[in-house]
Homo-oligomer: A and B are copies of this chain.
Amino acid sequence: MFLYQHKVQFYETDLMGIVHHSNYLRFYEEARVAWAHDKKLLDYQRPESASHFAVYETQVRHLKPAFFGEDLEIEVQAKREGIRILFQYRMRARHEILSLAQTVHVSLNKELKLIRLPESYLKILEKEQWTETWL
């Protein structure tokens, strides 16, 4: 299982004293990009390679708040569904699950038009481990 860590920064909190919910999508993006880079599906030198992960849908559930300075652990799992990639995420800190999420992605060309997933993605996604759904 791919694991990603994020330390909560001061600027990610809001006036309730907890991490603002919009930042969870940023943490999950960090985890997804790290996963894709680890699988050699995303090349930082060619940022257009990120456009195979265009966001179609996001869903985030908040179970417990996250606080300034905490080290969040994010587990990632991915699978193919037709021309889409589905990611699920599980965020933990303080030996608890703080949040669960799912994001659905499609490939876009430079004109932002929908295209098929590249062959290299299909190969990687076939080999990925997918446990039961988390959400």
Contact = CB atoms under 8 A, between A and B. Distances in A.
Given A60-B58, A112-B65, A25 B21 contact: yes
Contacts of A45: 69
A15 B47 contact: yes
Interface of A: 9-11, 13-18, 20-23, 25-26, 29-30, 33, 37, 44-45, 47, 50-51, 54-62, 65, 67-70, 112
Counting every copy of the chain, the complex holds 4
A47 B50 CA distance: 21
Contacts of A14: 10-11, 13-15
Contact of A51 (B11, B16, B57, B62): B16
A52 to B, nearest CB: 11
Given A44-B68, A69-B44, A58 B15 contact: no
Nearest to A56: B62
20 contacts: A9-B29, A9-B33, A10-B14, A10-B15, A11-B20, A11-B22, A13-B14, A14-B14, A16-B51, A16-B54, A17-B47, A21-B55, A25-B25, A47-B69, A50-B68, A56-B61, A56-B62, A57-B62, A58-B60, A59-B60
